[in-house]
Structure 1
């Protein structure tokens, strides 16, 4: 649990800098590993829990623009999973199921039984595996720019996709993610890439039986085209709602936080995915597929 004194002075030194977020920055210990996380400082009474799950090689820092916008509506948590960001390393190399178990253990530590998970990139396979391992603990899933599988193989191809994406993201994103990539290191990158691309991401996503929102950017080089995604989604009668944000690349949680937060609020309320009337002139967002088993959109 998190409130013991072991390591508290060391963690205090590491958190003495000016906070980089309006969320509270905290530490806990899960299975002997120091885990850094951010949390709504004053979540609304009875608010549903919503945890944001970061991508490959990164910390949760780049997810904060979206998470902060939702913190007044949900009990918001943004951890650095073990082995990533400021959190300590777990013994042994982690794969996607290991990270799903780590997410569940973190929620256990925080006393949260049921949760909505919002992931970006690698965070989406982690969410799909969480749904497979802990189906009774997941209320809803939001899969933003889901990565992994054959479209990102081999490593050379994935590196080219990531390079092209870098030119399409806001320049300020590099200042956020570069320290994370350097900290993660080359050996961890190679191991995690192998685990991620071998994971059956598509099969797990199509097997989901909870309301699921998949969000795509039309400028994302790591994703197949929207038409292919829609074709695949149409092969199963599931709960997946697919929406697109025009002008967005891969790191939507950072680059288009206003549009994404608006979309998530609509999804959580079972409302149609439409543009935010309070943000005229921003990127257009709209549905491209709604599974027949997905809750019907409420028009009221």
Structure 2
């Protein structure tokens, strides 16, 4: 059983929660930091959290306004979330690290890597949003509805209950910055290695969009988890963790050029 410590932290006037698990004794691998998407919390990252702890110290963050955290008064931009995340990493001593973001979390980890490159050794974007060809609230809502038909019941339960806990008011406040953030432009300036990862049945983060992001990143790679929808880390946490490890090992050994074929990863 993986041990976890939960800390409540106040930074920049906002409340965050940090869920921490130690990796193997003596590990020199950089820690993983997991960032959830809009309306969500650490809970749908729990299975991936457990898998990654086999390699290194692993942290999952509940951002301001999400999970049990009170909603801030003003609307926060993607860059605001990135700033408070970086402050949290500094306080926890969790940098330099590998940032792993799902959905809107992919925007936040990208913004963090741009804001303070020295604290970020690699970035993993799982199911990144928002596809520039589908930058419409209604199209995103339709894709999420479609995706819910493909998700595991456990994923749908977590998503629904987290959405209810977040509340409509704060969800809508966070929605506008998410829709306005141009990930396709930001990713071009990220200096560290970037892995863009999607489930092969994800109707939200479609293949052309994800490949475009991987090709735009100076050191980008792309891979798919076969048979998985948007919340790939819930249905196939082992395969997602393996894909991340393969990606990081490739960059350590000087391979993993985004122009080459991406590795095959088993399902779990």
Tell me if TM exceeds 0.5: yes
Query: Where does structure 2 lack aligned partners over 5 or more consecutive residues?
Result: 264-268
Match of 2:15 among 23, 34, 46: 34
1:201 is displaced (CA, Å) by 0.7
1:290 is displaced (CA, Å) by 4.4
- Does the C-alpha gap of structure 1 residues 21 and 92 become closer, same or farther in structure 2, counting only changes over 3 Å? farther
More deviation in 184-193 or 60-69? 184-193
1:252 aligns with 2:219: no
**Map of 1:55 onto structure 2:** 37
**Map of 1:214 onto structure 2:** 196
1:231 is displaced (CA, Å) by 5.3
Q: Secondary structure at the match of 1:244?
A: strand
1:109 is displaced (CA, Å) by 1.7
Q: Which has the higher helix share?
A: 2
Q: Secondary structure at the match of 1:249?
A: coil
Q: Distance in 2 between matches of 1:151 and 1:191?
A: 22
**Map of 2:218 onto structure 1:** 238
Which protein is bigger by CA-based radius of gyration?
A: 1
- Aligned CA RMSD, in angstroms, stands at 2.6
Q: Secondary structure at the match of 2:94?
A: coil
Work out whether residues 187 and 217 of structure 2, in 8 Å CA contact, stay in contact via their aligned partners in 1: no
1:40 is displaced (CA, Å) by 0.8
TM-score using structure 1 length: 0.78
- Does the C-alpha gap of structure 1 residues 232 and 176 become closer, same or farther in structure 2, counting only changes over 3 Å? closer
Match of 1:74 among 46, 56, 65: 56
Work out whether residues 151 and 223 of structure 1, in 8 Å CA contact, stay in contact via their aligned partners in 2: no
* 1:117-136, Cα deviation, whole Å (9 max, x unpaired): 01110010101111111112
Q: Secondary structure at the match of 1:139?
A: strand
Q: Distance in 2 between matches of 1:237 and 1:243?
A: 14
**Map of 2:258 onto structure 1:** 291
1:228 is displaced (CA, Å) by 5.2
- Does the C-alpha gap of structure 1 residues 180 and 152 become closer, same or farther in structure 2, counting only changes over 3 Å? farther
The residue correspondences of 1:160-199 to structure 2 (distance < 5 A) are 160-199=142-181
- Does the C-alpha gap of structure 1 residues 195 and 232 become closer, same or farther in structure 2, counting only changes over 3 Å? closer
1:99 is displaced (CA, Å) by 0.7
1:23 aligns with 2:4: yes
**Map of 1:86 onto structure 2:** 68
TM-score using structure 2 length: 0.87
